[in-house]
A = this chain, B = another copy of it.
Amino acid sequence: MSTLVCPPPHFTPVPLDKSYRLMNHGPTVLISAQHAGVSNVMAAAWACVLDYGQATKVTVVLDKSTATRALVEASGRFALQLPCVAQASLTVAVGTHSAKDIPDKWSRFGAQWFTAPGDTLPLVSGCVAWLVCKLIPEPHNQQTYDLFIGQVEAAWADERVFSQGRWHFDGAPQELRTIHHVAGGQFIVAGASVQG
């Protein structure tokens, strides 16, 4: 287990009805979960918004081989968080190696975690957004498609890049931009903003 650290200074609540906008642009995510004192984190490129407003939901694909999936199924909760350019190597590392092979996965790859007030769910330090979700059990989807649905309970973002319900990457440090996996550790970085 890595060191438990304090919430980062720019950790700022995002209203539930704006939280879908954290995920709308298709970022790669880190998924963390905890059960019976064991916590884990993995990476996933296949996460997506499913609904918005007060009913904001997300989907995420969790392979049966992952240790994190078992924690999600046992605890009924998980967090999605958005790694940034500064965490590209960490994202590849936690997405490639399983806690089944490396029990000290968090500390081995230098991941630090913190908790939101009143919660014990591990949130990954250094990310630029966090969504805490309650699992909506759908056994057929989970078994047939490895597809999990989560109801978003609370969300936060790094206020340097997300504020007033929008991403504002253009004026922020390059290393805080979200990353979007293509294949083999290659990511496309969130670029300029355009109005359609």
Contact = CB atoms under 8 A, between A and B. Distances in A.
A179 interface: yes
Interface residues of A, number: 50
Contacts of A179: 194, 196
A164 B188 CA distance: 16
A92 B196 CA distance: 6
A86 B24 CA distance: 20
B169 A188 contact: yes
A190 interface: yes
Contacts of A143: none
Interface string A32-73: 000000000000011111110000010101000000000000
Interface in A122-170: 140-141, 145-147, 149, 165-167, 169
B193 A188 contact: yes
B192 A196 contact: no
